[in-house]
């Protein structure tokens, strides 16, 4: 193959008099290396072919099968060329080891596409191109091709979720405690990984249930029309409402962080267990927060988001801090008790009452330096995770790192509204009014 002839024999001269009716396109470097390693045929850079042989700028499988060598020649390779060939061969080998990869246009044969999706490879590519124009988007954990391929496999073969997982798709749900007091760090991390993605599904369901017809029980007589009604509602949502979530530049970094931390054990929990600090209350001294003014790091709420791995814990942080201090105005607060470890001075814990049971007190524990938060652990049921943190830890870090350094008061904290009301029992002019007295019908007054 050269830059003058296509693999089908059509002439690709630049002269308009002899140019083929099929516009030529350059063969990509990925295709050239793939053909070299799988067919032992080298295609020189700049070789072209008819556009009919390409799908998404890659050669169709039948086009690759038609390629035949035209000559045998020897070429000398320098060290850079050899290194490049080794890298390309490694990439091709890794792609071939993937059992279920729709993103690799050469990863599955035409017969495999027909078996898995009921469509030929070319028809599948055309279908993906058509669906891609409808508004579906790539996400950080799956491409459009993968989403469509998995869906077609599911309805084509009726595969179970476990079998699909063995082919590359992992269907998971948060674990249950099953009588345990706390999730292990691995279970808690896995649960956070799932809920990080699941909220989009819950948000979509909430939008559908804004239509009260779908929020209530549907009568049996309406079942024949349920599918069409749901399609209409979803179409209205997709057309006239903003997307729930859009891809962001930082999504890739978040995904990499998840994979790096998901199997990491909680080092603070191990530290507490090794030194028997969970039960030895004598190893903790109670101090006020101002005794850590110089040794605890200062952070912004944006930095806090990287630790909490979400916004829910930050929204709960103020409520826990106000409950601990019994006031709503936390600016310039003088009393916020914490416990410091006598054995490890840079290890503290902040006793925090549970939001669901008054008799339960949690002990979020934090290890720190002057510049960084090294780790955390809490004795609540999700406190062992290191992929984000619970609300108790979030509240303690938020107050010590951020809120206590604020100089501007909040605009009218909610607790100040209590001073505007007076108990009706204490009002001296309370009396029963007659039906005829239209001017004095109130049973209580506000000062």
Q: How many domains does the chain have?
A: 4
68-to-60, 64, 74 alpha-carbon distances in Å = 15, 9, 17
Query: Residue 287 pairs with which residues in a beta bridge?
Result: 338
Which of 166, 197, 225 finishes a domain?
166
Q: Does a structural domain hold residue 9?
A: no
Residues 364 and 276 in one domain: yes
Residues 124 and 82 in one domain: no
pLDDT of residue 362: 92
Q: What are the pLDDT digits (tens) for 159-177?
A: 676 666 666 666 677 888 8
> pLDDT value at position 96?
56
Closest-CA residue to 399 (of 312, 316, 341): 316
| Centroid of chain to Cα 116 | 28
| Residues 310 and 328 placed together within one structural domain of the fold | yes
Residues 156 and 194 in one domain: no
Return all residues near 17 (Cβ < 8 A) that are at least 6 apart. Answer: none
278 and 392 co-located in one domain:
yes
- For residue 413, being part of any structural domain is answered with no
Question: For the chain, what is the radius of gyration of the CA atoms?
Answer: 32
Domain shared by 333 and 368, yes or no? yes
Q: Which of 261, 264, 265, 267 is nearest to 344 (CA)?
A: 267
The C-alpha atoms of residue 61 and residue 39 are separated, in whole angstroms, by 12
- Amino acid 41: pLDDT: 83
User: In a structure prediction context, what are the per-residue pLDDT tens digits for the chain, which is 447 residues long?
Assistant: 555 667 666 666 554 333 444 567 788 877 887 788 777 788 877 788 887 777 767 777 777 777 887 777 777 777 777 777 777 777 666 655 555 678 777 778 888 888 888 888 888 888 888 888 877 777 666 788 888 888 888 777 776 766 666 666 666 778 888 888 888 888 888 888 888 878 888 889 999 998 988 888 888 998 898 988 999 999 999 888 888 877 778 778 888 888 888 888 889 999 999 998 988 888 999 998 888 888 899 988 888 888 888 788 888 888 888 888 877 777 766 688 899 999 999 999 999 998 888 789 999 999 999 888 999 999 998 888 888 889 999 999 999 998 888 777 665 555 566 666 766 655 444 333 334 444 444 444 444
Q: Under 8 Å CB-to-CB from 106, ≥6 apart: which residues?
A: 31, 34, 58, 61, 64, 95
Q: Do both 331 and 397 map to the same domain?
A: yes
Asked if residue 129 belongs to a domain, the reply is: yes
If asked whether residues 44 and 153 sit together in one domain, one would say no
* pLDDT for residue 349: 93
The region, left, alpha or beta by phi > 0 then psi within -120 to 50, assigned to residue 208 is alpha
Which of 91, 114, 143 marks a domain boundary?
91
Position 56 scores a pLDDT of: 67
Q: Give the pLDDT of residue 112.
A: 83
Domain encompassing residue 158? 99-166
Residue 109 lies in a domain: yes
Provide the pLDDT for residue 11: 66
pLDDT at 344: 93
User: Does residue 11 form part of some domain?
Assistant: no
| Interatomic CA distance for residues 70 and 440, integer angstroms | 107
- How do strand 54-55 and strand 58-59 relate by DSSP bridges? antiparallel
Angstrom CA distances, 36 to 29, 32, 43, stand at: 11, 6, 7
Q: Helix 110-117 vs helix 144-157: angle between axes, to the nearest 10 degrees?
A: 60
pLDDT of residue 433: 36
Instruction: Provide the CB-side half-sphere exposure for 192 (13 A, CA).
Output: 31
Residue 379 included in any domain: yes
Whether residues 273 and 391 share a domain: the answer is: yes
Answer yes or no: is 123 within a domain.
yes
Q: Are residues 274 and 339 in the same domain?
A: yes
pLDDT digits (tens, 9 = 90+) for 203-249: 899 999 989 888 888 889 988 989 889 999 999 998 888 888 777 78
Task: Catalogue the long-range contacts made by 61-69 (C-beta closer than 8 Å, 24 or more residues apart).
Answer: 61/106, 61/109, 61/110, 61/121, 62/110, 63/7, 64/31, 64/34, 64/35, 64/38, 64/39, 64/106, 66/7, 66/8, 67/1, 67/7, 67/35, 67/39, 67/41, 67/43, 68/41, 69/41
Report the mean per-residue pLDDT for the chain. Answer: 78
Judged on CB neighbours under 10 Å (0-12, 13-18, 19+), 1 is buried
Q: Is residue 337 domain-resident?
A: yes
The alpha carbon of 316 is separated from its chain's Cα centroid by a whole number of angstroms, namely 20
Q: Does 287 share its domain with 228? A: no
| 154 shares a domain with 56 | no
Residue 243: CB atoms within 10 A of its CB come to 10
């Amino acid at each position: 193959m050269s830059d003058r002839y296509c693999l089908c024999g059509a002439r690709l001269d630049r002269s308009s008099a002899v140019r083929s009716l099929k516009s030529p396109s350059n063969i990509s470097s990925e295709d050239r290396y793939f053909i070299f390693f799988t067919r032992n045929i080298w295609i020189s850079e700049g070789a072209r072919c008819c556009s009919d042989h390409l799908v998404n700028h890659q050669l169709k499988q039948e086009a690759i099968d038609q390629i035949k060598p035209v000559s045998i020649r020897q070429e000398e390779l320098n060290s850079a060329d050899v290194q490049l060939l080794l890298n390309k061969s490694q990439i091709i080998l890794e792609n071939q080891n993937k059992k279920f990869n729709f993103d690799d246009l050469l990863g599955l044969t035409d017969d495999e596409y027909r078996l898995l999706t009921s469509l030929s490879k070319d028809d599948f590519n055309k279908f993906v191109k058509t669906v891609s124009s409808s508004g579906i988007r790539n996400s950080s954990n799956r491409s459009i091709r993968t989403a469509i391929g998995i869906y077609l496999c599911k309805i084509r073969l009726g595969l179970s979720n476990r079998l699909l997982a063995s082919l590359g798709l992992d269907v998971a749900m948060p674990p249950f405690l099953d009588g345990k007091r706390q999730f292990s760090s691995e279970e808690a991390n896995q649960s956070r990984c799932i809920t990080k993605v699941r909220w989009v599904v819950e948000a979509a369901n909430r939008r559908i249930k804004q239509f009260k017809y779908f929020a209530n029980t549907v009568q049996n007589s309406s079942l024949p029309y349920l599918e069409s009604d749901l399609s209409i509602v979803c179409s209205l949502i997709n057309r006239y409402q903003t997307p729930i979530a859009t891809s962001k530049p930082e999504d890739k970094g978040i995904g990499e962080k998840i994979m790096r931390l998901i199997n990491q054990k909680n080092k603070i929990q191990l530290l507490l267990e090794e030194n028997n600090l969970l039960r030895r209350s004598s190893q903790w001294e109670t101090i006020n927060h101002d005794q850590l003014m110089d040794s605890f790091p200062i952070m912004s709420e944006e930095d806090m988001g990287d630790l909490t791995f979400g916004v829910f814990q930050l929204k709960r942080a103020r409520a826990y801090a106000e409950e601990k201090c019994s006031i709503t105005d936390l600016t310039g607060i003088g009393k916020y008790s914490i416990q410091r470890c006598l054995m490890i001075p840079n290890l503290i814990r902040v006793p925090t009452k549970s939001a669901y049971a008054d008799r339960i007190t949690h002990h979020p524990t934090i290890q720190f330096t002057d510049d960084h938060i090294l780790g955390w652990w809490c004795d609540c049921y999700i406190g062992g995770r290191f992929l984000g943190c619970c609300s108790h830890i979030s509240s303690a870090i938020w107050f010590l790192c951020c809120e206590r350094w604020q100089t501007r008061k909040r605009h009218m904290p909610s607790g100040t509204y209590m001073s505007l009301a007076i108990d009706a029992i204490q009002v001296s002019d309370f009396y029963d009014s007659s039906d005829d007295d239209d001017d004095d019908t109130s049973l209580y007054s506000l000062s």
